[in-house]
Chain A
Amino acid sequence: MSDPAQGGQARLLLSPAPHIKAASSTVGLAWLVVASLLPALAWGIALFGIAAVRVCAVGLAAAVAAEALTTVPFKRFTLGDGSAVLTGLIVGMFLPAGVSLVVPAAASFFAIVVVKQTFGGLGRNWMNPAVGGVLFALLSWNASMARWIPLASGAAVPPLDALRSALAAGRSVPGGPLAVLNAAGYPFSGADASVLGWINGHLLGFLHVGLPTGAFDVVSGMVVGPIGAVSAPLLLAGAAFLLARGVIRWEIPVAYLAVFAVLAFALGGPATGRGWLTGEALFQLLSGTLLLGAFFAATDPVTSPLSRAGRWAYGTALGILTFVMRYFGSVGDGVVVSLALGNALVPLIDIAALGALAPSHARKAG
């Protein structure tokens, strides 16, 4: 007889239904995102050296300290959930390596204290903490935020900034952004020359086309830029890992990047001195912090819409905003400020997509 009531065994659990659970869990999600960011971060450190380490370490330490200061006195212990570490890391990765060390410290502090903990901590903030922190830095330390560390090739500013100033100076030539950069004398690396020389000579030669100088640098991430945003391949690898693990959802980055690319192609031409429908989408996609923002900041579940339709709308809005801000705005490369504006739209998108968040919009029963 194995009757548990009489067998002197442990008492039966009395927990409420449902008694089974889906396999997904929030535990450790943030740590997975941290892990997926490390390769891109390592690339940035390899390019920019000890300065990059300093910036990221200060950002990380400030975020952790701010989280500890705002939670431990209230007997909440949230450092283990990894969200503060993630915020500090992303803040650091959005910054140029040459930035004054006040910037990562203040940005992380602002991110954790003002953007997150003021609202009650993880899950209650409506703006992504890292986005808020970097935006604060961009608005506060404009000059410092443009202090790049030059590469061995001699490139001292990101290709995107160089393109902007070349165009502003009226030096537009036909042939797309890389042609403009080359005409303006932007230095690319030796690796770029040899790799492209080989590709153009051996693979594409008989087609009578050739990749413009700089293509290899831009694609591989051998360029000046924010610490964590230069290496497109490593960012995409990290994103693929997260997508495969089901940590982030694909709708937002896909809608975001697709809408941005279409707009850049269709409407971006005139801005680079060409006609309509000739914009260089690929160069724009790979430049600046777009990939970092699209895969690692826009997908933050806390600050993205609840429903699938809402996520499509959000991604689309981000694509449009980023296009407008990158071509016409003056706050960084337009990604961070678009994310901030997009975050602000999320509650509205939720109301529109679910129709159930405001009493006046409550669904009729039935």
Chain B
Amino acid sequence: MSIAAILVTFALVDNVVLSLLLGVNPPQGVPGSLRRALGLGASLATLACLASLGAWGADTMALVPLGLDFLRTPVYVFLIAGLAWLLRKALQRFAPRLLPSVSFPEAAVNAAALGVVLIIRHGSYTAAEGLVAGLAAGLGYALVMAVLSAIRLRLEVEQVPRAMRGLPLQLVSAGLLAFAFLAFDRAFLARVLGG
């Protein structure tokens, strides 16, 4: 698969939020500011890149040769948790200014990263392709989160039905957006890259 195909696939066609439904954070749902949306995207891009690399290493060096692929889930989970922890420590140490806008130890990002890594490993990509895929997933996540958080900012001031205020409307909005994103399907991918 070409680099462009991987980018389009992971950013648009198999968008983390809209087709895997991963990475929406429980307490507030969609982020309440664009800054935070982009921070989440950056966090996911970094984490998914590193984790896909790590997962590739673990698979090729340990799990597959030893016939331990049933241990993939715990290994990936720990890999991602550990990486997130390390990234946070590193940021605290070297760039504390960035801390408020990125968010490493977050369930949403971790679940999304796990999803991305699982897809990458299921699709048997190479290490380099995995890196690009992780980056693309982060980009797609940032894009969708930015759009959704702008929609959220707009809906926040409207008098919406009380039962639907907040999370329910965010989900319905995400659903409508997911419908629109179906424009980016496999046929689209094939035509763009083929034509």
Residues of A that sit less than 8 Å from B by CB: 114-115, 118-120, 123-124, 126-127, 132, 135-136, 139, 270-271, 325, 327-331, 334, 337-338, 340-341, 343-345, 347-348, 350-351, 357-361
Contact = CB atoms under 8 A, between A and B. Distances in A.
A270 B192 CA distance: 12
Nearest to A331: B183
B150 A347 contact: yes
A337 B154 contact: no
Interface string B63-82: 00000000000000000000
Contact of A357 (B154, B176, B183, B195): B154
B76 to A, nearest CB: 32
Contacts of B147: 344-345, 347-348
Interface in B26-75: 33-35
Contact of B173 (A126, A271, A325): A126
Report whether over half of chain B's contact residues are helix, strand or loop; otherwise say mixed: helix
B5 to A, nearest CB: 13
Contacts of B158: 119-120, 123-124
B146 A348 contact: yes
B97 interface: no
Interface of B: 33-35, 146-147, 150-151, 153-155, 158-161, 164, 169, 172-173, 176-177, 179-185, 187-188, 191-192, 195
24 contacts: A118-B169, A119-B169, A120-B161, A124-B158, A126-B151, A126-B154, A136-B179, A139-B179, A270-B195, A325-B183, A327-B195, A329-B185, A329-B187, A330-B187, A331-B182, A334-B183, A337-B180, A340-B180, A344-B151, A344-B177, A347-B150, A350-B154, A351-B34, A358-B33
A359 B169 CA distance: 21
Contacts of A341: 180-181, 183
Given A139-B179, A328-B195, A348-B146, 13 more contacts: A120-B158, A124-B160, A132-B176, A135-B180, A329-B188, A331-B182, A331-B183, A337-B183, A340-B176, A340-B180, A344-B147, A350-B154, A358-B150
Please report whether the interface of chain A is mostly helix, strand, loop or mixed according to DSSP: helix
B43 to A, nearest CB: 18
A337 B178 CA distance: 11
Contacts of B154: 126, 347, 350, 357
A151 B71 CA distance: 63
Contact of A118 (B161, B181, B182, B185): B161
B188 A330 contact: yes
A328 B180 contact: no
Return the 4 tightest CB-CB contacts between A and B, nearest first: A347-B150, A340-B180, A120-B160, A337-B183
